[in-house]
């Protein structure tokens, strides 16, 4: 059983290496974002596999939180690339609540 886990971990690590190569090389910034997205998804899987390999059941919570943070990070980076500014200043006379 351990061999299957180790093979899966090796494949995931290889994928992370390839994604890292694309992130370093990628001509446009979107290529880099795709590579980082793949990298972070594979990190979640790697943590889940390590949980089963070592038998520490608590580690799965780390993977869960990482999966949650991951999506927010990608969307935030996309917005930053598009808008160049995450929190534009409001007009002083504008009393509408932030949306």
Q: Per CB under 8 A, does 80 bind another protein? A: no
Query: Which one, 9 or 87, has the nearer CB to another protein?
Result: 9
* Closest by CA position to 53, among listed 5, 4, 3: 5
Site for another protein contains 8 (CB under 8 A): yes
- Does residue 82 touch another protein according to CB under 8 A? yes
Provide, rounded to whole angstroms, the least separation between the CB of residue 52 and another protein: 6
Is 31 a binding residue for another protein by CB under 8 A? The answer is yes
Q: Is 35 exposed, middle or buried (0-12, 13-18, 19+ CB in 10 A)?
A: buried
């Amino acid at each position: 059983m351990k061999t299957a886990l180790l093979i899966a971990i090796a494949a995931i690590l290889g994928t992370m290496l390839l994604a890292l190569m694309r992130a370093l090389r990628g001509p446009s910034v979107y290529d880099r974002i795709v590579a980082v997205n793949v990298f972070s998804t594979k990190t979640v899987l790697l943590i889940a596999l390590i949980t089963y390999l070592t038998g520490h059941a608590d580690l799965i919570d780390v993977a869960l939180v990482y999966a949650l943070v991951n999506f927010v990070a990608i969307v935030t980076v996309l917005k930053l690339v598009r808008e160049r500014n995450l929190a534009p200043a409001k007009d002083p006379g504008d009393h509408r609540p932030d949306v």
